[in-house]
Amino acid sequence: MKLTSIVTQLLLAPLALAAAAPKVNQKITYDGYKVFRISTHHDAAIVKDLLKPLTTVAMNLKDEEHLDVAIAPQDLDAFDALNLDAEVLHEDLGSDIKAESKFGTYGGVSARAVPSLTWWNSYHAYADHITFYNDLAGAFPNNSEIFNIGTSVQGRQIFGLHIWGSGGKGSKPAVYFHGTVHAREWISAKVVEYISYQLLTQYSTDLAVMAIVDKYDFYILPFVNPDGFVYSQTNDRLWRKNRQTRSGSSCVGTDINRNWPYKWSLTGGASTNKCSETYKGQAASDTPENAALVAFTTTLKNSHGIKLYIDWHSFGQYILLPYGYDCTQVAANNAQQTTLAIGLKTRIALSYGTQFTYGPSCSTLYKTTGSSADYMTDVALTEFAWTIELRPTGSSSSGFILPPAQILPSSIEQWEGMKYLLPIM
Segment contacting Zn ion (CB under 5 A): 116-124, 193-201, 312-320, 338-346?
312-320
Instruction: Closer to Zn ion by CB, 200 or 270: give it.
Output: 270
313 part of the interface to Zn ion, by CB under 5 A:
yes
Distances (CA, A) of 175 to 219, 254, 301, 306: 6, 26, 11, 6
Q: Quote the CA–CA distance of 39 and 126 in Å, as a whole number.
A: 36
Closer by beta carbon to Zn ion, 37 or else 182: 182
SS3 state at 302: helix
Under DSSP, the state recorded for 113 is P
DSSP string covering 362-411 = HHHT---SS-HHHHHHHTS--SEEEEEEEEEETTS--TT---GGGHHHHH
By beta-carbon proximity to Zn ion, the closer residue of 333 and 406 is 406
Task: Give the single-character DSSP code of 120.
Answer: G
Give the CA count within 13 Å in the CB-facing half-sphere of 89. 29
The number of residues making up the chain comes to 425
Distance of alpha carbon 56 from alpha carbon 52, whole angstroms = 8
Closest among 139, 202, 194, 179 to 409, alpha carbons compared = 194
State in angstroms the smallest separation of the CB of 355 from Zn ion: 19
| Beta carbon of residue 257, minimum distance to Zn ion (angstroms, whole number) | 7
State the minimum distance, in angstroms, from the CB of residue 187 to Zn ion.
11
Binders of Zn ion among 216-275, rule CB under 5 A? none
At its nearest, how many Å lie between Zn ion and the CB of residue 371? 10
Shortest gap between Cβ of 60 and Zn ion (angstroms)?
A: 11
Our CB check for Zn ion shows the closer of 181 and 306 to be: 181
Distance CA 391, CA 408 (A): 11
In the complex, least distance from residue 365 CB atom to Zn ion, rounded to whole angstroms: 10
Q: Are 72 and 32 in contact (CB under 8 A)?
A: yes
Does 184 bind Zn ion (CB under 5 A)? Our answer is no
Of 130-138, 179-187, 260-268, 390-398, the window that binds Zn ion (rule: CB under 5 A) is 179-187
- Dihedral of CA atoms 240, 417, 370, 381 in degrees, nearest 10, equals 150
Spatial contact of 340 and 425, defined as CB atoms under 8 Å apart? yes
Residue number, 185 or 217, with CB nearest to Zn ion: 185
Taking CB under 5 A as the binding criterion, the range among 308-316, 317-325, 351-359, 378-386 that sits at the site for Zn ion is: 308-316
Positive or negative, the Cα torsion across 54, 57, 70, 324? positive
Q: Which of these segments, 3-11, 96-104, 212-220, 307-315, binds Zn ion (CB under 5 A)?
A: 307-315
Annotated catalytic residue: which of 277, 389, 413, 416? 389
Q: Is 302 exposed, middle or buried (0-12, 13-18, 19+ CB in 10 A)?
A: exposed
User: Which H or E element spans position 312?
Assistant: strand 306-316
Pick 118 or 396: Cβ nearer Zn ion: 396
Cross-sheet strand order for the sheet of 56-58? 56-58, 66-71, 34-39, 86-90
Nearer to Zn ion, 198 or 314 (CB): 314
Tell me: does residue 347 bind Zn ion (CB under 5 A). no
Q: Which stretch binds Zn ion (CB under 5 A): 7-15, 181-189, 209-217, 224-232?
A: 181-189
- Report the nearest approach of Zn ion to the CB of residue 277 (Å): 10
Q: How far is the CB of 385 from Zn ion (least distance, A)?
A: 15
Q: Count of residues binding Zn ion (CB under 5 A)?
A: 2
Q: What is the Cβ-side half-sphere exposure of residue 199, based on CA atoms within 13 angstroms? A: 29
Residue number, 124 or 313, with CB nearest to Zn ion:
313
Question: Cα–Cα distance between 419 and 425 in angstroms, integer?
Answer: 11
d(CA 29, CA 95): 9
User: Is 389 noted as a catalytic residue in this protein?
Assistant: yes
User: Which lies closer to Zn ion via its Cβ, residue 274 or residue 313?
Assistant: 313
Q: Of 48, 182, 258, 347, which lies in the binding site for Zn ion, with binding defined by CB under 5 A?
A: 182
Rounded to a whole number of angstroms, the minimum distance from the CB of residue 182 to Zn ion is: 3
Listed ranges 178-186, 288-296, 302-310, 350-358: which one lies at the site for Zn ion (CB under 5 A):
178-186
Catalytically annotated residues: 389
Which stretches of the chain bind Zn ion, using CB under 5 A?
182, 313
